Chain A
């Protein structure tokens, strides 16, 4: 029975992955101490040859995952442990399906907060970095404060931010704005740090060349510094995307808003209060899934933008 289920699941997964073209081979490289994760789509998956080529990269992690899930399911059944302590994966899956109607709208709200915070972080981070590289004095004066902003625990200041924002923005939007600010604080720093580093690491010979041809500050920024910073910026983006989600979820935990406009964190919280542990797991699973989707989307964007020229995205035969 279980075996038949597993076989069906494997086949299902294969179909899913073949269709989605999202088999990932992850590699990481270090650039000046900053870790940039690189994930590359492997092959355009149709037909059997690709399947054979994909299999080790894909089936190994999937196999491990399925083994763990199977062990988990069996352990839960054999030990007869209560679902409110540890639900089995099948129960979580069932709950996910049955509770989809309440959980998914919450996930969308969290996603909106994440997206808004991320977009604001990208724009403000880019502007701040450009400002930093225009003058050493600006960077010297303000960079420490960017670090302070980063190291301040968002859990601790979230209640304050919620109260302050309520003074300025009354009504329903108040909480949304406050949560966006919290997530923005968390997501901002990797973009500033990476982009500043990138803007400063333009090839010095090229900088000389620009100077020789009497390039203006604006030309140097547009044609040299910004393109040089691109790989660093995109690396920052990938870190920042995940952090925006974490920031949003953490802030939601603190805010704990009920009613119609409650995010996925509220669902996790309320499920745990009510001892609806399978529901909590289902909500958790959705959050993680969203994080993975954000990461994959940003990775694809990065590969698309750097594909033609940067080492991290260039496919090599050897």
Chain B
């Protein structure tokens, strides 16, 4: 493994209503890794991201940033595009720089470059409502990239998109990642997406939120359509799927109905 970038030691999060969102979580995220967190809703995968980003306090434990990284160099992409509807694409992307006090003239190049990366040059003056769901997500990613982050946290960014847009954005994201060598922590409930994108998949279970499996996906990049159709890909998916199933069955009084289960494993 590469140098550790972020180390989570014994992190727990208990909400005020008594829900244990995370219990004694230990996780070392290596520099340049593409890690996916997979699990049913309520397993605390989003909570992990929020803790890393410093959005909300841990109940116990600590998060360490290594190798000269800091929280300042991270960017967050939410499930919804979360764009400001009153601002143009260009102004939305500029937001992080504006908040950091960068002047308009100085941020112009960075904004243009970020939009270029997500293939949205020419849409600078559009308003979010004029864009499709996939394009909004691209704007959201461009906004994350505009500060040239080293760590990218993504919370089910493509969860609300249709399958075709999702797979297109998946391969675009991989292209960008191989160019820029970010450290990516990617939360998803989609096993297939996780296997396709990551070199490491962390499987989590709910009540209490914990890690149940840590699967390395050894297939080298760039990953093509062939990988998606290979037996190896199916094998990885099966492995993760059975880890999820075991965790769900192991729970006392598992009340997951078949439809719930189908939704969780979808």
Interface residues in A196-223 by Cβ distance below 8 A to B read: 203, 205-206, 208-215, 219, 223
Q: Which of B78, B84, B129 interacts with A224 by CB under 8 Å? A: B84
Known contacts being A203-B82, A309-B85, A309-B86, is A208 close to B76, with CB within 8 Å? Answer: yes
What is the 8 Å Cβ interface bit string for chain B, positions 99-110, against chain A (1 contact, 0 not)?
A: 110000000000
Q: Which of A212, A215, A219, A311 interacts with B55 by CB under 8 Å? A: A212
Q: Which of A209, A227, A230, A310 interacts with B82 by CB under 8 Å? A: A209
Is B127 in contact with chain A by the CB < 8 A criterion?
A: yes
Cβ contact within 8 Å between B100 and A208: no
Is A314 in contact with chain B by the CB < 8 A criterion?
A: yes
Q: Which residues of A contact B80 (CB under 8 A)?
A: 205
Tell me how many residues of A have a C-beta within 8 Å of chain B.
Answer: 21
A237–B30 alpha-carbon span in the complex (Å):
54
Is B238 in contact with chain A by the CB < 8 A criterion?
A: no
A230–B82 alpha-carbon span in the complex (Å):
17
Cβ contact within 8 Å between B127 and A213: no
What is the 8 Å Cβ interface bit string for chain A, positions 304-318, against chain B (1 contact, 0 not)?
A: 000011110010000
What is the 8 Å Cβ interface bit string for chain B, positions 66-97, against chain A (1 contact, 0 not)?
A: 00000000101011101011110000000110
Cβ contact within 8 Å between A205 and B84: no
Q: In this complex, what residue of B is CB-closest to A209?
A: B82
A128–B96 alpha-carbon span in the complex (Å):
29
Shortest distance from the beta carbon of B178 to any chain A beta carbon, whole Å:
25
Q: Which residues of B contact A205 (CB under 8 A)?
A: 78-80, 82
Q: In this complex, what residue of B is CB-closest to A308?
A: B127
Cβ contact within 8 Å between B127 and A214: no
Q: In this complex, what residue of A is CB-closest to B101?
A: A219
Q: In this complex, what residue of B is CB-closest to A216?
A: B99
Q: In this complex, what residue of A is CB-closest to B54?
A: A212
Q: Which of B55, B82, B96, B128 interacts with A211 by CB under 8 Å? A: B55
Q: In this complex, what residue of B is CB-closest to A210?
A: B99
Known contacts being A208-B55, A209-B76, A212-B76, is A310 close to B99, with CB within 8 Å? Answer: no
Q: Which residues of A contact B84 (CB under 8 A)?
A: 206, 223-224, 227
Is B53 in contact with chain A by the CB < 8 A criterion?
A: yes
Q: Which residues of B contact A212 (CB under 8 A)?
A: 53-55, 74, 76
Cβ contact within 8 Å between B86 and A213: no
Is B98 in contact with chain A by the CB < 8 A criterion?
A: yes
Q: Which residues of B contact A209 (CB under 8 A)?
A: 76, 78, 82, 95
Q: Which residues of A contact B85 (CB under 8 A)?
A: 309-310
A308–B91 alpha-carbon span in the complex (Å):
14
Q: Which of A215, A230, A308, A309 interacts with B99 by CB under 8 Å? A: A215
Q: Which residues of A contact B99 (CB under 8 A)?
A: 210, 213-215, 219, 223
Known contacts being A210-B99, A212-B76, is A309 close to B54, with CB within 8 Å? Answer: no
A311–B127 alpha-carbon span in the complex (Å):
12
Q: Which residues of B contact A210 (CB under 8 A)?
A: 99
A18–B128 alpha-carbon span in the complex (Å):
34
Find the residue from B78, B99, B129 having the highest chain A CB count within 10 A: B99
Interface residues in B180-199 by Cβ distance below 8 A to A read: none
Shortest distance from the beta carbon of B87 to any chain A beta carbon, whole Å:
8
A203–B129 alpha-carbon span in the complex (Å):
15
Cβ contact within 8 Å between A223 and B54: no
Cβ contact within 8 Å between A227 and B86: yes
Q: Which residues of B contact A206 (CB under 8 A)?
A: 82, 84
Q: In this complex, what residue of A is CB-closest to B85?
A: A309
Q: Which residues of B contact A219 (CB under 8 A)?
A: 99
A224–B100 alpha-carbon span in the complex (Å):
15
A208–B54 alpha-carbon span in the complex (Å):
10
A224–B78 alpha-carbon span in the complex (Å):
17
Cβ contact within 8 Å between A309 and B127: yes
A223–B94 alpha-carbon span in the complex (Å):
12
Q: Which residues of B contact A308 (CB under 8 A)?
A: 86, 127
Q: In this complex, what residue of B is CB-closest to A211?
A: B55
Cβ contact within 8 Å between B78 and A208: yes
Question: What are 12 A-B pairs with beta-carbon distances under 8 A?
Answer: A205-B80, A206-B82, A210-B99, A211-B55, A212-B53, A212-B54, A213-B95, A213-B96, A214-B100, A227-B84, A227-B86, A309-B85
Chain B residues proximal to chain A, CB less than 8 Å:
53-55, 74, 76, 78-80, 82, 84-87, 95-96, 98-100, 127-129
Q: Contacts A212-B55, A212-B74, A227-B86 given; 20 further ones with Cβ under 8 A? A: A203-B82, A205-B79, A205-B80, A206-B84, A208-B55, A208-B76, A209-B76, A211-B55, A212-B76, A213-B95, A213-B96, A214-B100, A215-B99, A219-B99, A223-B95, A227-B84, A308-B127, A309-B127, A311-B129, A314-B129
